Structure 1
């Protein structure tokens, strides 16, 4: 396939994690319906992110050894893994067995931190495409 899969896969975890963080903050006012929605969307995003990370790793393998863009790729990758860890931690903190419970402040904090890290990592991902041409047909990464 000539089109990279990574850009197609990243939208789902970004959307679900963003919704989860918004719902977490809304749960401070609206309670159970919001925190249950947050937990479900967070679980979906955490699983979907595994596919996005796998396809990103495939794209990483396409870079030539010694590519000048590898530093930016590594920053993006490490930040995305950190965001995944924040959301996975937040999810596990709100689980009792297989049931979702009301998130505590630590769980809410991890959700917010995860979102902030996600935003920074997404910015780095955008730089990879728009500044360095990663995944752009006919352009070698610079």
Structure 2
């Protein structure tokens, strides 16, 4: 089965920028929320986080669809498993943050956001290893 591509490009790298941007903004605003410097920070952090959660589902779905073209290389499979584990863990950390935001627990939400952000950075690094160290998806998969 061939992976779903648009103009030969995989969809996951296109969609992944949206949750990353939204969660970066959500984390920054959540860090401001307990300080009560900006009155709108908690509400805006909640909206950014909610968008990140939805966009994350789209990005993860696109990533899962890429698995159909996965070569049988064990090292590559291990790298992808590491990336997926970190990305899904980040998503759940931001889900916890959202629940805490809904309960107006600003400090706890900020802590969850920082945990999510660290996991997000690790997932991004693991994803970069898949591309730059293992060459997946490469030109052969996109043709």
Q: TM-score scaled to structure 1, two decimals?
A: 0.87
- Please, which runs of 5 or more residues in structure 2 have no aligned partner? none
> How many residues matched?
135
What is the aligned counterpart of 1:60 among 59, 67, 81? 67
What is the aligned counterpart of 2:76 among 66, 69, 77? 69
Q: TM-score scaled to structure 2, two decimals?
A: 0.87
- Please, which runs of 5 or more residues in structure 1 have no aligned partner? 97-101
Report the alpha carbon displacement of residue 66 of structure 1 after superposing the two structures with TM: 4.6
Runs of 4+ residues over 4 Å off in structure 1 = none
Report the alpha carbon displacement of residue 29 of structure 1 after superposing the two structures with TM: 4.2
Using the alignment, how far apart are the partners of 1:105 and 1:34 within structure 2?
Answer: 13
More helix by share: 2
Aligned to 1:99: none
Using the alignment, how far apart are the partners of 2:127 and 2:71 within structure 1?
Answer: 18
State the Cα deviation string for residues 47-96 of structure 1 (Å, max 9, x = none).
00000000000112211335430001000000000000000111012215
Taking CA–CA contacts closer than 8 Å with sequence separation of 6 or more, which of the two structures ends up with the larger relative contact order? 2
Structure 1 residue 26 corresponds to structure 2 residue 32: yes
User: Is 1:35–1:103's contact at 8 Å kept on the other side of the alignment?
Assistant: no
Structure 1 residue 106 corresponds to structure 2 residue 112: no
The more displaced of 105-114 and 13-22 is 105-114
Give the alignment's Cα RMSD to 1 decimal. 1.8
Report the alpha carbon displacement of residue 20 of structure 1 after superposing the two structures with TM: 0.4
Using the alignment, how far apart are the partners of 1:119 and 1:68 within structure 2?
Answer: 21
Aligned to 2:12: 6
